[in-house]
């Protein structure tokens, strides 16, 4: 596999050396530049730079302006900015001008930085693979055009070859379509790698959102768009620190609230890197909008809010009420449903609520038909499905009802059990 070239840009030599030390054991071709002008000279079409990390505050040319120029001369290069929470305006400017892939706050955590770079390079490789497939399709189309020019004289001789070419073209188009699914899978796995709670939440929201979209008789491509957006609706939280995500909402400062409320915009910017997901990115941006205009980030009202975003909003708010992690206290399903009903046509779409309540009833009926058995923590096996939420004695939610247990989940449950026991056992669908 080709070695990735990555470029670090900062006017402070000690930061450049620190970045280089962080990646000294990684198999990357590392370039350093202490100014934006010097960095721009390093871009070479024969040896493309896969990823660049730039400081925002640099003399002469800011990080925002530099990344904008990088976008123009090397659009595929993954662009990451080093910044502080105080640079929120610069962060928004970078989203608009430089289409920044991710933001890393100073001081960074080495493990988090390495993971971010690795994820960025995986995204870069996916983009390159998509370009390769499109190039193949272009070449095949050119061959098909040439075959058509000769078709009048050699229709009998060329018919078999033409059928073959069409099959190849169909296969390539299918591969290209499947690559979009692969991108979604990669994004979903990144969300879960960063935060298990958000990852499980996204799965539940996606399942219910798909059901509602189908009940509303939406076209299959629109149902798929809504499902994808539901899976990725919290992807913008990848750029927000764990401490801030877990902080008690009642203690947040105004600035911290503003940072949290940027996650739909950040999520949209991440997904926009894939052109085919433009409609998905719009739903991600608006999944916190309410009918009365009190939502965010754009304070849209009523019909201004896309239907897909209204669907995700209902399910997202319900799920957040049911599965709130510490330091919050979750409420009962009955109380959460009452909250939805009280806010019909004020915050939430009434038709969406009706179909969602049907989804909940079907889910309960499925549980009644399937039944459950109780097993010990040590007897858990892969692919078992939880029939109840799984909590420790201390009230920590380890996994929600309906979760299919993977090896990593089982190890997490067993590790927690050692320090905060699961006293009632684990209930599994029979």
Q: Which of 134-143, 347-356, 412-421 is most confident?
A: 347-356
Q: Is residue 266 scored above 60 in pLDDT?
A: yes
The single residue listed with the structure tokens 């939440």 is 201
| Bridge partners for 375 per DSSP | 426
- For residues 9 and 70, the answer to whether their CB atoms sit within 8 Å is no
Q: Please count the helices (runs of H) and the strands (runs of E) in the chain.
A: 16, 9
Exposure b/e, 163-183, CB count within 10 A at least 16 = b: eebeeebeebeeebeebbeeb
Average pLDDT estimate for 145-168: 73
- Tell me how crowded residue 152 is: count the other CB atoms within 10 A of its CB: 7
- Tell me how crowded residue 369 is: count the other CB atoms within 10 A of its CB: 7
Helices (H), 99-150: 110-149
Query: Could you read off the pLDDT of 230-260 as tens digits, one per residue?
Result: 989 988 888 788 788 778 777 889 999 999 8
Q: Is residue 326 scored above 60 in pLDDT?
A: no
The single residue listed with the structure tokens 């390495």 is 114
How far, in Å, CA of 77 to CA of 97, rounded?
Answer: 15
Q: Which tokens in the block code for residue 335?
A: 């109380």
Query: Could you read off the pLDDT of 174-225 as tens digits, one per residue?
Result: 776 666 766 776 666 666 555 556 657 888 899 999 999 999 999 999 999 9
DSSP code per residue over 234-246? TGGGGGS-HHHHH
The single residue listed with the structure tokens 């939502």 is 295
How far, in Å, CA of 200 to CA of 325, rounded?
Answer: 12
Q: Quote the pTM value.
A: 0.55
Phi, psi angles (nearest 5°) of residue 233: -60, -25
3-class SS at 388? Answer: coil
More confidently predicted of 292 and 420? 292
For residue 414, the model assigns a pLDDT of 85
Query: Could you read off the pLDDT of 285-318 as tens digits, one per residue?
Result: 999 999 999 999 999 999 999 999 999 999 999 9
383: left (phi over 0), alpha (psi -120 to 50) or beta: left
Can you say whether the dihedral through the CA atoms of 26, 58, 105, 71 is positive or negative? negative
| Share above pLDDT 90 across residues of the chain, in percent, rounded to a whole number | 39
> How would residue 420 be classed by pLDDT, with cut points 50, 70 and 90?
confident
Helices 307-322, 333-342: crossing angle, 10 deg rounding:
140
3-class SS at 247? Answer: coil
How far, in Å, CA of 8 to CA of 39, rounded?
Answer: 8
How far, in Å, CA of 235 to CA of 258, rounded?
Answer: 17
The length of the chain is 430
Query: Could you read off the pLDDT of 102-153 as tens digits, one per residue?
Result: 888 888 899 999 999 999 999 999 988 988 998 888 888 888 777 777 776 6
Query: Could you read off the pLDDT of 27-86 as tens digits, one per residue?
Result: 999 999 999 999 999 997 778 999 999 988 888 888 888 988 999 999 999 999 888 755
């Amino acid at each position: 596999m080709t070695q990735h070239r990555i470029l670090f840009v900062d006017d402070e030599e000690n930061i450049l050396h620190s970045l280089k030390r962080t990646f000294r054991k990684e198999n990357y071709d590392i370039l350093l530049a202490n100014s934006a002008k010097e960095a721009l000279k390093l871009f070479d079409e024969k040896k493309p730079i896969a990823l660049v990390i730039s400081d925002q505050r640099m003399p002469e040319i800011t990080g925002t302006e530099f990344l904008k120029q990088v976008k123009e001369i090397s659009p595929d290069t993954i662009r990451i900015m080093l910044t502080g929470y105080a640079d929120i305006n610069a962060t928004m400017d970078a989203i608009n001008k430089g289409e920044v892939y991710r933001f890393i706050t100073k001081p960074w955590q080495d493990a988090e930085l390495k993971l971010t770079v690795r994820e960025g390079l995986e995204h870069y490789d996916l983009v390159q693979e998509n370009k390769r497939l499109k190039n193949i399709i272009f070449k095949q189309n050119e061959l098909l055009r040439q075959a058509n020019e000769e078709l009048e004289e050699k229709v009998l001789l060329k018919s078999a070859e033409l059928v073959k070419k069409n099959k190849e073209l169909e296969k390539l188009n299918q591969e290209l379509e499947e690559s979009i699914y692969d991108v979604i899978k990669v994004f979903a796995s990144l969300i879960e790698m960063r935060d298990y709670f958000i990852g499980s939440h996204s799965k539940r929201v996606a399942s219910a959102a798909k059901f509602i979209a189908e009940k509303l008789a939406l076209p299959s491509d629109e149902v798929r768009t809504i499902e994808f957006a539901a899976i990725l609706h919290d992807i913008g939280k990848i750029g927000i620190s764990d401490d801030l995500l877990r902080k008690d909402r009642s203690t947040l400062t105004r600035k911290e609230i503003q940072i949290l409320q940027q996650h739909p915009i950040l999520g949209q910017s991440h997904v926009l890197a894939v052109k085919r997901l433009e409609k998905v990115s719009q739903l991600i941006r608006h999944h916190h909008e309410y009918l009365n205009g009190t939502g965010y980030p754009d304070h849209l009202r009523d019909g201004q809010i896309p239907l897909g975003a209204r669907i995700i909003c209902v399910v997202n708010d319900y799920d957040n009420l049911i599965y709130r992690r510490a330091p919050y206290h979750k409420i009962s399903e009955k109380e959460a449903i009452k909250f939805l009903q009280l806010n019909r046509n004020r915050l939430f779409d009434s038709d969406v609520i009706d179909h969602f309540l049907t989804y909940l009833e079907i889910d309960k009926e499925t549980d009644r038909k399937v039944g459950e058995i109780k097993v010990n923590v040590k007897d858990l096996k892969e692919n078992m499905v939880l029939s109840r939420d799984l909590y420790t004695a201390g009230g920590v939610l380890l996994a929600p009802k309906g979760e299919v247990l993977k090896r990593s989940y089982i190890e997490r449950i067993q590790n927690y059990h050692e320090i905060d026991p699961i006293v009632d056992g684990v209930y599994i669908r029979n």
